[in-house]
Amino acid sequence: MKKKIVVLSGAGVSAESGVATFRDAGGLWEGHDIMEVASPEGFSNNPELVLDFYNKRRRQLFEVEPNKAHRIIAGLENDFDVTVVTQNVDDLHERGGSTNVLHLHGELLKARCILNETAIIDWKEDITQGILHPETGKQLRPHIVWFGEAVPAIIPAMDIVAQADFLIVIGTSLQVYPAAGLIDYAKPDAPVFYIDPKPAYIPNLRNPLEVLPMTGSEGMEVLNEKLKSYL
């Protein structure tokens, strides 16, 4: 029976591949207020702006590649039962080779009906006004969890984290909830490895904690060797 590793990943992992992060100054938001481009109200007020914003993000995916951190995480599957729970909406974990990925905040390469959040379809093209869902006949929108919306994947994510023998937290500031609260569901004896060049303080953590203040790729190289000692 393979030991179970759960990886909680954030924008810092994708940043090494050239994907701008939400939290970087002058980065992803391109001067837009966050609520203009990532909220139901923003979409209602200016759907063209929001659709264009995510069209640009989607197009960028075809210009970037998985980095060493993605590939090392995928390689852990050779010796461990690995599940990746990611806040990222790109497909770099999958392209890096990970076979079990749960996206908390949606996926850029999917779209859904504006009236039915369960009517989700694969989508690689731009979304513009007038492009309708093939089954519901209603306007398409990005399959992204916006601020103020429920996070349906959070419940299965809690269950996944609770099963972990090892928890790897990588490339996240641990500031966005409910995702940041997932760490609290780990078994008390499960070691937590936190990789981030600017690691946040983790209050009230019961678990054994090792902080690696490095980039995702650097940290995963170190951790990959360390995990071999548990085999």
Residues taking part in catalysis: 105
C-alpha 35/C-alpha 125 separation (Å) is 24
C-alpha span between 26 and 143 (Å, rounded): 24
Q: Max alpha carbon distance in the chain (Å)?
A: 56
Runs of H (alpha helix) within the chain: 11-15, 34-37, 40-45, 47-61, 68-75, 92-96, 154-162, 216-227
Residue length of the chain? 231
Can you spell out the DSSP letters for 163-197? T-SEEEEES--S-STTGGGGGGGS-TTS-EEEE-S
- Amino acid at position 89, single letter: V
Place of tokens 């419940």: 155
